Amino acid sequence: MTDSIRNHWDKVYTRKAENEVSWFEDVPAVSLELIAAAGATRHSSIIDVGGGASRLADALLAAGFDAVSVLDISPAALESAKARLGPRADRVTWLVADVTRWDPDRTYDVWHDRAAFHFLVKPEDQAAYVERLTKGIAPDGAVIIGTFALDGPQMCSGLPVQRYDGATLAKTLGRSFELIETRRHQHRTPANAVQNFQFSRLRRVRAP
């Protein structure tokens, strides 16, 4: 499965300019607000899962964060981000991996995911993600996941997505995560369409 997914995303990132993909955002404002709300400090370790060519890494570096990682299944996506960042790319840890098969060898204070988890539509893939999340998040760590909302689009990049609100997301992540807040967000695509997102912030709780 990994190969076909990677090929899909590599094609997208090779054929389209950064600001031609529907999920492009110049400033990842909601993500930055929620990372701040989680109490992250400049030395907090932050991983952007399915980060692709997002400008979140740029914004975090500019804000002084010094332990930023970006994971994505698509090498082309990460190459695009690195090219944009230039020498600043050396300050980011880049990880090419399918998150559903990845074996985190450390924990992170903040786990951020905008529009990657929602591509996992099979319960077994969602469970595999939650297993990696549970292993990769620090005790009391913050989890920020943005997905299409229940009234958002049913597809993205030609692929079906699973839509959530805060409650259904928290239920899918299970009892190891406590829902702290949910925000609705209207994303305006480069083609000027509006997509309804939900962003939820959760906290890793000690073993229930």
Ligand X SMILES: C[S@@+](CC[C@H](N)C(=O)[O-])C[C@H]1O[C@@H](n2cnc3c(N)ncnc32)[C@H](O)[C@@H]1O
Burial class (CB in 10 A: 0-12, 13-18, 19+), 72: buried
76 contributes a contact to ligand X by CB under 6 A: no
How many other β-carbons are positioned within 10 Å of the β-carbon of residue 101? 12
Residues 32-71 that bind ligand X (CB under 6 A): 50-52, 54
Indicate the SS3 state at residue 165: coil
Compare residues 77 and 133 and give the one whose CB is closer to ligand X.
77
Find the binder of ligand X among 156, 170, 173, 202 (CB under 6 A): 156
Distances (CA, A) of 121 to 3, 54, 124, 125, 151: 17, 22, 9, 7, 16
Shortest spacing between CB 57 and ligand X, in angstroms: 10
72 contributes a contact to ligand X by CB under 6 A: yes
**Do 70 and 112 form a contact (C-beta atoms < 8 A)?**
no
Indicate the SS3 state at residue 18: helix
111 contributes a contact to ligand X by CB under 6 A: no
Binding mask 87-106 for ligand X (x = CB under 6 A): -----------xxx------
Compare residues 153 and 168 and give the one whose CB is closer to ligand X.
153
114 contributes a contact to ligand X by CB under 6 A: yes
Q: How far apart are CA 77 and CA 23, in angstroms?
A: 13
* Identity of the amino acid at 82: K
Shortest spacing between CB 3 and ligand X, in angstroms: 12
- Give the interface with ligand X as residue ranges (CB under 6 A): 5, 9, 23, 50-52, 54, 72-74, 77, 98-100, 114-116, 119, 156-157
